[in-house]
Amino acid sequence: MRRALLLMATVGSLVTGCASGTEGTPVSAREPRGKTTKTSTSRAPFHGERLADGEVVKVDELDGIRLGSPDDGRLRNYGVDVDVVDFGTADVVDGGAGTDYGAQEDSTLLAFRLRVATFVDDAAEKVKATVSVDGRQRSLPEFEYSLGGPGDDRTLQYLVGVPKDRREVQLELKYADFAQQFDLLDGKRTGEQPDILYRSDDAPFVYVENLTPAKLPLADEDGKPGAYVVGVTRAELTYFGPELGDVPADKEKAWLVIDYEPGSEGSLDYLSEASACVPPFTAFTLNNGIQDYPAVDRQSKVEALASDQRLAFEVPADLTDATLTMKTTELSCDFGGLAFPFTASGEAKVTMTLPQD
């Protein structure tokens, strides 16, 4: 009997203590008792921004993620070289500027770093960059603003949300109807890859400068000798036409763009500058040791009183040794509104060797 009374007194004391307590958070009647709170899981609470699948953001940093480098990350288009420096995946990434990024459930983040080099003035107006996840395409934020003038070189970093069962993640550079793609899952270029775009390790073209001038012998109406001088300042092998931006007939072709300064000697120099003479496009041919290629007039630009003239030839993309020949029987030069005819003889030849890489 004494033991029973002692047990009853102890239970009564415990019930009274529970009824009078004020600490702790009561469970809401609307929340099932089986539901756990954030603090009940082993993963720390995430207070950053979660990216939806296909959503892409530019970030200042890529901390908290292990990145790998592709064997060849070059991706090129009109006047632009984009090198995929490294890429990788993670569930959470510190993007810098106090912002963490996380993936949605059943998804992850794909990070990639790009080195962007620009070679022409108008690339920002023409070249667009996108990333697509299983066919859904998004623009790379602020990519166009990174394309400055020739010689600019910048590093950009991006994150994109992707499902864990993703099939394809493609980075694309596009100009007009011409695109180049890079597979961000396998780390390699895909699709057609024009030879000349990837011939050089440094740029999407190869070139030579300041070649030895050539002279076309001339004689004025009185038979006094002179010469029209072709001084090639630059010869560039490129995939894009200099005037219209057109691409060649196929990926194994390229445009050889030749800029030259016209000069004068003898009787031609006595009258005025050689820029007053406008040779016909048919006066110029290019030979690679196998065949002649004519100047393409729609891509060329030879104008009166211009200090720099431009010729374009559609040639094989593997062109190395070539000879520019100027040959015509007569040349008319306009001085002070009067046309002065010159008789031409022989030919002017400029030889060139373009680098392999």
Which has the minimum average pLDDT: 6-10, 51-55, 216-220, 279-283?
6-10
pTM as predicted = 0.81
Residue 260 pLDDT exceeds 90: yes
Residue-level pLDDT at 38: 31
Which has the minimum average pLDDT: 12-16, 111-115, 190-194?
12-16
Closest residue by Cα to residue 272 from 347, 348, 332:
332
23, amino acid identity:
E
Residue-level pLDDT at 46: 74
Residue-level pLDDT at 47: 73
Average pLDDT over residues 254-282: 90
Contact in structure between 127 and 27 (CB atoms under 8 Å)? no
Residue-level pLDDT at 271: 72
Q: Most confidently modeled of 20-29, 42-51, 112-121, 265-274? A: 112-121
Average pLDDT over residues 219-242: 95
336 band by pLDDT with thresholds 50, 70 and 90:
confident
User: In whole numbers, what is the pLDDT of the chain averaged over residues?
Assistant: 86
Query: How far apart (Å, rounded) are the C-alpha atoms in residues 270 and 300?
Result: 28
What are residue 179's phi and psi, to 5 degrees?
-130, 150
- pLDDT top residue among 254 and 65: 254
- Mind spelling out the 3-state secondary structure of the chain? CHHHHHHHHHHHHHHHHHHHCCCCCCCCCCCCCCCCCHHHCCCCCCCCEEECECCEEECCCCECCCCECCCCCEEEECCEEEEEEEEEEECEEECCCCCEEEECCCEEEEEEEEEEEECCCCHHHHCEEEEEECCEEEECCCCHHHCCCCCCEEEEEEEEEEECCCCCEEEEEEECCEEEEEECCCCEEECCCCHHHHCCCCCCCEEEECCCCEEEEEECCCCCEEEEEEEEEEEEEECCCCCCCCCCCCCCEEEEEEEEEEEEEHHHHHHCCHHHECCCHHHEEEECCCCEEECCHHHCECCCCCCCEEEEEEEECCCCEEEEEECCCEEEEEECCEEEEEEECCCEEEEEECCCC
Six-digit token string for 290 = 């196998």
Residue 5 pLDDT exceeds 60: no
Query: How far apart (Å, rounded) are the C-alpha atoms in residues 289 and 323?
Result: 8
pLDDT of 83-107, one tens digit each?
A: 999 999 999 998 888 889 999 999 9
% of residues, the chain, pLDDT over 90: 69
Residue-level pLDDT at 6: 35
Query: How far apart (Å, rounded) are the C-alpha atoms in residues 22 and 13?
Result: 17
Average pLDDT over residues 9-26: 35
Q: Most confidently modeled of 3-7, 43-47, 122-126? A: 122-126
pLDDT of 23-48, one tens digit each?
A: 332 222 223 323 333 333 334 567 78
% of residues, the chain, pLDDT over 70: 87
Residue 347 pLDDT exceeds 80: yes
Residue-level pLDDT at 304: 84
Average pLDDT over residues 177-198: 95
Query: How far apart (Å, rounded) are the C-alpha atoms in residues 331 and 317?
Result: 33
Query: How far apart (Å, rounded) are the C-alpha atoms in residues 182 and 89?
Result: 16
pLDDT of 294-335, one tens digit each?
A: 999 999 998 888 889 999 999 999 999 999 999 999 998 888
Average pLDDT over residues 174-194: 95
